[in-house]
Amino acid sequence: MGRPPGVLAVQGDFEKHLDAFAALGRADALEVRSQEDLEKVGSLVIPGGESTTVGLLLERFGLGEAIQERAKSGMPIWGTCMGMILLAKDIEGLDQFRLGLLDITVRRNAFGAQVHSFEDEVKFKGMATPVTGVFIRAPIVVRTGKGVEELADYEGKIVAVRQGNRLGTSFHPELTGDNRIHEWFLGFEN
Ligand code: GLN
């Protein structure tokens, strides 16, 4: 086993990701809050949370730049919900901080004000049975660039993508107890 997986733990829903990795035998997964922490991990999950807040913090402490560098040298990275927003190249209509590591445009809070939160089955490419998509003020992908593969859609809206060893999901697999996507992510080449 190589370096442990990391979960960005600046703000938001990071603990459940650590639990999911522990359930898969990676109880050594680390919380990442600094550039020093980042050096210790072999992959990184950016969890759900508030993208404007976390974006500001990433920018202020130089951690955003360090994540970009590690990703460019091959570190697998996965964003769930807010994490996918922060990974996007473009955020529709907004110029808030983003890492720009997935060639996609996202629309924040895309399921509208009335539907803050819901869950439903989502067919996920490569998975034998659907996953449960927990959507919490979730974004969708409204543009995919070259080299971006769609992994899942929900009612015609793209809700999961992959570009090389970078992954984005609109929903929260860490809240379901079904750790298949975490397991898959652990196998990404580093
Ligand atoms: N709506 C949040 C944002 O735009 C994301 C919500 C989440 O991560 N659950 O940052």
- Which pLDDT score is estimated for 144? 98
Judge residue 35's burial from the number of C-beta atoms within 10 Å of its C-beta, 0-12 exposed, 13-18 middle, 19 or more buried: middle
What stretches of the chain show up as alpha helix (H) in DSSP? 15-23, 35-40, 51-60, 63-72, 82-87, 180-186
DSSP assignment of 68-118 equals: HHHHHTT--EEEETHHHHHHEEEETTB-------EEEEEETTTTTTT-SEE
Strands 157-163 and 149-154: antiparallel
Provide the CATH number for the domain around residue 125: 3.40.50.880
- Asked if residue 78 lies in contact with residue 44, where contact means CB atoms within 8 angstroms, the answer is yes
- Separation of 48 CA from ligand 1 center, angstroms? 6
Give the residue whose CA is nearest to atom 5 of ligand 1: 82
- Separation of 113 CA from ligand 1 center, angstroms? 12
| 51 in contact with ligand 1, CB cutoff 6 A | yes
Give the residue whose CA is nearest to atom 1 of ligand 1: 137
- Which pLDDT score is estimated for 189? 73
- Asked if residue 59 lies in contact with residue 144, where contact means CB atoms within 8 angstroms, the answer is no
- Asked if residue 134 lies in contact with residue 171, where contact means CB atoms within 8 angstroms, the answer is yes
- Which pLDDT score is estimated for 2? 86
| 108 in contact with ligand 1, CB cutoff 6 A | yes
Cα–chain-centroid distance for residue 46? 5
Pocket test for ligand 1, best of 107, 108, 170 (most atoms within 8 A of CB): 108
- Which pLDDT score is estimated for 127? 97
| 30 in contact with ligand 1, CB cutoff 6 A | no
Atom of ligand 1 nearest to the CA of 48: 8
| 79 in contact with ligand 1, CB cutoff 6 A | no
Residues with catalytic function: 81, 172, 174
Cα–chain-centroid distance for residue 38? 16
- Which pLDDT score is estimated for 114? 62
pTM for the predicted model, two decimal places: 0.96
- Which pLDDT score is estimated for 116? 82
The single residue listed with the structure tokens 């107890």 is 177
Atom of ligand 1 nearest to the CA of 81: 8
- Note down the domain range covering 124: 5-186
Q: Give per-10-residue mean pLDDT for the chain (190 aa).
A: 93 96 98 97 97 96 97 98 98 97 97 82 98 96 98 97 98 97 91
- Separation of 72 CA from ligand 1 center, angstroms? 25
What domain count does the chain have?
1
